[in-house]
C-alpha cells in the first residue's frame, strides 16, 4: 500500500495531513470571472517570488501564512458580490439540500464543527474521521517541527508550480486525499439534487476548493468568528444570529464575536 501523502497541487495547492481540523470554502461554478481569478493568481505568484529569496524559513513561513489569510479574505469578499454569477442558495429549497447533506456526513466522514451557507459559496470546518474516533473534540492542528517542514515544502512547490494531478485521484477517479474525497462525495451528491430541484443540467460546483489546516485553538476561534460573521459582512444579516444557514457545534456567546 502506498503511504499517505499530505500535499498535492492541481490548479490550487492543497496540504492535507491526517488527524487535523480543516477550514474549507467551496463555491458554485462560474461564481467569479476568469479575469479575477487570473489576477489573484498573478498576485500570489508575485508574492511567492518575493519571499523566495528569504534565508529565514521561519520568516518565510510567517509571511506566507499572513499572505494566505489576506489573499483568502480578498477572494471571499469577491464572492459576496451579488451582481455576478448564480446565487442558487438564495432559494431555500436549494440551500436546505446543502444543509442536510453537511449534517448527513457528520459522524460518518467527519466531525462537523461549523458552517455557513452563503448565496453562492459554503464555508465549512470539519475534522475528517481517520479510523475510529472516540472523542468528538476537534484535533486542532499544532505547528510542530514536521508541520513546519511540510509548510516550507508546500510554499516551495507552490512557487515552482509542481503538479501532482496523477496522484490526486486513485483508481476509478476516487481521490486518495482525505479532504478532497469528502468534498468529492459531498459535491457529487448535492450537485445532482440541486440540479434536479432547479430543473437544470451542467456543472454546479466549481472544480476546486480552498482548504486550510486549522493551526491551534486561537486559529479555530478566529475562523469561527470569520464564518459566522460572513453574512453580516456581506450585508445580508444584521447579526450573525439572524442567518438561518449557519451552524456551530459549540455554545457561542455574544462576546465570543
Percentage with pLDDT > 70 across the chain: 72
More confident residue, 185 or 161: 185
* Rg (the chain; Cα; Å): 18
User: Would you say residue 2 lies in a domain?
Assistant: no
User: Would you say residue 69 lies in a domain?
Assistant: yes
**Per-residue pLDDT, 232:** 95
Q: What are 7-64's pLDDT values in tens digits?
A: 333 333 434 445 688 999 999 999 988 888 888 888 888 888 888 888 888 888 788 8
**Per-residue pLDDT, 251:** 60
CB 37 within 8 A of CB 208: no
* Domains of the chain: total: 1
Strand boundaries in the chain, DSSP class E: 7-9, 13-15, 22-27, 110-117, 121-128, 210-213, 246-248
User: Would you say residue 1 lies in a domain?
Assistant: no
**Per-residue pLDDT, 170:** 39
**Per-residue pLDDT, 3:** 39
**Per-residue pLDDT, 151:** 46
**Per-residue pLDDT, 230:** 95
Here the CATH number for the domain that contains residue 55 is 3.30.70.1290
Structural domain for 242, as ranges: 7-256
User: Would you say residue 113 lies in a domain?
Assistant: yes
User: Would you say residue 199 lies in a domain?
Assistant: yes
User: Would you say residue 108 lies in a domain?
Assistant: yes
Q: What are 229-247's pLDDT values in tens digits?
A: 999 999 999 999 999 999 9
Q: What are 51-92's pLDDT values in tens digits?
A: 888 888 888 878 887 887 888 888 888 888 888 889 999 999
b/e per residue, 35-58, with b = 16+ CB within 10 A?
eeeeeeeeebeebbeebeeeeeee
SS3 category, 211: strand
Q: What is the number of alpha carbons within 13 Å of residue 155 lying toward its C-beta?
A: 26
Q: Cα angle vertex 223, ends 220, 227, to 5°?
A: 140
Amino acid at each position: 500500500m502506498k503511504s499517505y501523502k499530505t500535499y498535492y497541487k492541481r490548479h490550487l495547492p492543497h496540504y492535507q495531513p491526517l488527524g487535523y481540523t480543516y477550514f474549507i470554502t467551496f463555491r458554485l461554478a462560474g461564481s467569479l470571472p476568469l479575469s479575477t481569478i487570473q489576477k489573484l493568481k498573478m498576485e500570489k505568484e508575485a508574492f511567492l517570488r518575493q519571499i523566495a529569496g528569504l534565508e529565514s524559513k521561519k520568516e518565510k513561513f510567517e509571511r506566507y501564512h499572513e499572505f494566505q489569510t489576506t489573499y483568502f479574505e480578498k477572494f471571499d469578499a469577491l464572492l459576496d458580490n451579488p451582481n455576478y454569477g448564480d446565487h442558487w442558495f438564495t432559494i431555500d429549497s436549494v440551500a436546505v439540500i446543502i444543509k442536510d447533506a453537511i449534517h448527513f456526513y457528520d459522524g460518518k466522514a467527519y466531525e462537523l464543527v461549523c458552517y455557513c451557507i452563503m448565496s453562492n459559496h459554503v464555508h465549512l470546518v470539519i475534522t475528517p474521521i481517520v479510523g475510529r474516533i472516540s472523542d468528538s473534540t476537534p484535533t486542532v492542528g499544532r505547528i510542530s517541527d514536521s508541520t513546519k517542514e511540510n509548510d516550507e515544502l508546500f510554499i516551495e512547490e507552490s512557487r515552482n508550480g509542481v503538479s501532482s494531478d496523477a496522484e490526486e485521484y486513485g483508481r476509478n477517479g476516487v481521490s486518495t486525499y482525505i479532504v478532497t474525497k469528502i468534498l468529492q462525495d459531498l459535491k457529487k451528491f448535492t450537485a445532482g439534487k440541486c440540479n434536479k430541484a432547479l430543473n437544470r443540467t451542467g456543472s454546479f460546483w466549481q472544480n476546486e476548493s480552498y482548504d486550510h489546516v486549522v493551526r491551534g485553538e486561537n486559529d479555530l476561534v478566529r475562523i469561527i468568528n470569520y464564518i459566522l460573521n460572513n453574512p453580516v459582512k456581506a450585508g445580508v444579516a444584521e447579526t450573525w444570529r439572524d442567518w438561518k444557514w449557519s451552524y456551530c457545534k459549540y455554545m457561542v456567546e455574544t462576546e465570543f464575536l
